Structure 1
Amino acid sequence: MKYLDEFSNPELALRLIDQIKAVATRRWSIMEVCGGQTHSIIRHGIDQLLPDTIEMIHGPGCPVCVTPLEVIDKALEIASRPEVIFCSFGDMLRVPGSEKDLFRVKSEGGDVRVVYSPLDALTIARANPDRQVVFFGIGFETTAPANAMTVYQAKRLGIENFSLLVSHVLVPPAISAIMESPTCRVQAFLAAGHVCAVMGTDEYPPLCDKYGIPIVVTGFEPLDILEGIRRTVVQLESGRHELENAYPRAVQDVGNPAAKAMLLDVFDVTDRAWRGIGVIPSSGWRLSHAYREYDAEQRFAVGDIHTEESTVCRSGEVLQGLIKPHECSAFGTLCTPRNPLGATMVSSEGACAAYYLYRRLEVTHA
């Protein structure tokens, strides 16, 4: 199948690996930002095929994983209310809050529904004018345009019983936070192709210059990732720190102008807390003044909910690339996909979930 078979060709993969081995003369640590890239790397054993000098560090690019515990608790509080129909993508239902998850709320009688688009939630709101319908809007820049469009449509159509619980985060400020951490080991980044397909690449060259790091935009198939790694290593070995777009079939420098215009209208940039990392300045979105009436956090007065993270779960260190999942003592014992302590184990893009699914109990190299 086009773009599956072509970008998983083992002969081409081995050729790229040979090229990486030929150019790599020093130890380099490269962070892939996106959780989808992490799963592809672990599933295909890319990290084990690379030379010992190349370490892949798994970044905080899983939107479910970085959603703060207190936002999960706010969602649980809202979803438990009898007048509410709470809508979410399926990957949020098993993410643990302080005491329960959305599946538990549903089993206790809450009207929790899995939808495949935020516009589905708007349709539910129109069909149930006597109920409050809330959509759980999480994610990076990739999912934000659809959520923005839904709020825009709600206002345009005069649908007053719809609101959005917002927890959107932005990639470039996270890169800055990682690079400014005193424990940072990252020397280069693979940027997420789908984020750049929306936002373009303009924000990345200043980061390359400020921190002296190569950033290569890449996709999610094995050959995409290997080509991104190859380009990154070539830059590192030559002492360059530039932005490169290795995913031109999907990413243009300008991004998607229509989506960006919608985001600019509906959202304002704000400080955001990241689970396991803390507050990163100007790293998220909230609804702008013109759409603030659709803010579920304000509508249901849950802004004062605050929580503390588990002391057993080390997902914060995993998200910062400080440890690999198997280095957490709870991994695979106290913490499994069936009984997760943190979002990194239950999310479909979480690093802990990838290590558990593909039985990566310890990291070895070929």
Structure 2
Amino acid sequence: MAVKVLVVDDSSFFRRRVSEILEQDSGIEVIGFAVNGREAVDKTAQLRPDVITMDVEMPVLDGISAVKEIMASNPTPILMFSSLTRAGASATLDALDAGAMDFLPKKFEDIARNNDDAIKLLQNKVKEMGRQRIGRITRTAPSPSISKPASNSSERFSNLAKKPIVQPDRSFNNASPAPTSSSASARASGKQYQLVAIGTSTGGPVALQTILTQLPANFPHPILLIQHMPAAFTPAFATRLDGLCKIKVKEAQQGDRLQPGCAYLAPGGQQMMVEGRASNRTLRVFEDKNERVNYKPSVDITFASAAKAYQGDVLAIILTGMGADGRDGARMLKQTGATIWAQDEKSCVVYGMPQAIASAGLASESISLHDVAARLKREVGCG
């Protein structure tokens, strides 16, 4: 079944370009276009696409406002296109808060190393988002005329637009899950830690905000954040988190000394590693020119360095995201005695990264997003 896409942009050139790229893939069908946010809302109700690609800046009704209306009336996975500017980054983060699932830079040359990679990335994101949409509809809505129960896809997706964020049910995925934590009141393991490391991708900005805003200012350990995100976005994201959280959040810089109660966000387009021993651990932030490395920043690279610097004194958490980045690094951490948690399937936007951890038998627990902060505080003894 082809993924049906509605392309929304006020530029006829960009609408045509996106359509041509998507329809190069036989698994994708562009079923309509909209030139502004108001038309996007109307055509979503009329055409019922599986995925919407949406520009941020448009006349009549802007992309953020359109996302809010669509998520309230006909919730649908939305992929935002944004300019790589400070204003564009801030607007894109607002769109994710409103319920958009993911985003890409509007200049395709900024998406990947070459044009072919950029095309594949866009196609794969749309198909992944569409497969989840189709899977939910297949499971929960065999007939559009049937009144759906409270667990239907519309209610699940509408939850993304609310705060606190309640992620949709992804029960149609297949995996070998880790033991599930039944509640946030589960007992602490008694293990001692020196570092918390969190890796994520699609859906990560909302997930990280959900967790970090619940942590106290006296959180006893440094936190490393590895979020797949372009370089232009990470400064704005770190600033936003810092303004919302009791802990300090900053974009990591070369030579940063790791301090408790501070979260360090890996800069987009670069790698972040831990160096040093004992009380003299610092961050190495560097440009990675290895073209074989798909993710910059890479969860695997940061986790591997944490395994070397901290041995088993690490609590690593893999949250929502496409792909399997973090699995190899988590394996290295596990071999040193570190603890690995994975976000559970139901609360993920995309279950790819946590599924890779669970399927490899690396996760000691599979935890709902909205239990992670409470479990984390209890585990490290600060809540």
The one of the two structures with greater contact order (alpha-carbon pairs below 8 A, sep at least 6) is: 1
TM-score by length of 1: 0.24
TM-score by length of 2: 0.23
Normalized per residue, which structure has more helix? 1
